[in-house]
A and B are shown apart, each in its own frame.
Chain A
Amino acid sequence: NAGVTQTPKFQVLKTGQSMTLQCAQDMNHNSMYWYRQDPGMGLRLIYYSASEGTTDKGEVPNGYNVSRLNKREFSLRLESAAPSQTSVYFCAAPGTDTQYFGPGTRLTVL
């Protein structure tokens, strides 16, 4: 997971609480991505940013907002958490012929 860091690693929220997941990359790439992974399913794209200052919806954007703070950082915000958002969240950035993923944030919404 070299090059992509995420904080926090674990988080427990109550329904309706808000939080921001942080991601940073040191590969100097324009693009960054947020995915979620649920049991028995592959990773699904929530939002992505093709360059600093731009963001676009992915496959499952509802309930989330993102901010591309600068070229290094891409944050994911849950304004009002719901139990359906219990998942593992991965941030990613492209490398040569692939994407590199962070270690993930395991989020539980009670």
Chain B
Amino acid sequence: DQQVKQNSPSLSVQEGRISILNCDYTNSMFDYFLWYKKYPAEGPTFLISISSIKDKNEDGRFTVFLNKSAKHLSLHIVPSQPGDSAVYFCAASWMDSSYKLIFGSGTRLLVRP
């Protein structure tokens, strides 16, 4: 049973527009969420995170929103750039987990010039 779900395998947006990537989770124990970006033939690289005590975290063009009641988080990229084209993974962790991460299946983002 997948505890972290990314239901959109792919997303295509025009350069300059907003990209919205979604993630749902089922385990109420999760209290820390991360987004990773992955290019082909490379390891995932950390993008942004959010603790369950917050509902929003912003870092430049990237904003993550957390809706705990809906067990839903989203990553907004504004404005989208062609270099943002990659696979984005949502991941979750919890207290006393020894920093273990549970990943979603990923969303492939294509930003069209």
Which of A4, A41, A48, A90 contacts B98 (CB under 8 A)? A48
- B41–A104 contact, CB under 8 A? yes
Contact B44 A90 (CB under 8 A): yes
- A74 cross-chain contacts in B, Cβ below 8 A: none
In the complex, which residue of chain B has the Cβ closest to the Cβ of A1? B43
- Residues on B with C-beta less than 8 A from A102 are 43
Residue interface bits A76-110, CB-to-B below 8 A is 1, else 0: 00000000000000101011011111111010000
B residues in contact (CB < 8 Å) with A: 4, 6, 9, 34, 36, 41-46, 49, 89, 91, 98-106
Please measure, in the bound complex, the distance between the C-alpha atom of A45 and the C-alpha atom of B102, giving whole angstroms. 8
Task: Output the residue of B49, B101, B102 with the most chain A CB within 10 A.
Answer: B101
| A75 → B minimal CB distance (Å) | 17
Interface size on A, residues (CB 8 A): 28
Q: For chains A and B in complex, what number of residue pairs have CB atoms within 8 angstroms? A: 61
Q: Which of A31-45 contact B (CB under 8 A)?
A: 31, 33, 35, 40-45
Residues of A within 8 A of B36 (CB): 101
CB distance from A97 to the nearest CB of B (A): 6
Task: List residues of chain B with CB within 8 A of the CB of A50.
Answer: 98
Q: Residue of A at shortest CB range from B2? A: A42
| Complex CA distance for A92 and B104, rounded to whole angstroms | 17
Structural contact, A43 and B49, CB atoms closer than 8 A: no
A42 touches which one: B45, B46, B89 (CB < 8 A)? B89
- Can you name 21 A-B residue pairings with CB atoms under 8 Å? A1-B45, A31-B99, A33-B101, A35-B103, A42-B91, A42-B104, A42-B105, A43-B101, A43-B103, A44-B103, A45-B100, A50-B98, A56-B98, A58-B100, A90-B44, A94-B99, A95-B46, A98-B34, A99-B101, A100-B46, A103-B43
- Find chain B residues with CB under 8 A from A103 CB: 41-43
Interface contact A31-B4, CB-CB below 8 Å: no
Residues in B with CB closer than 8 Å to A31 are 98-99
Measured CB to CB, the closest approach of chain B to A24, in angstroms, equals 14
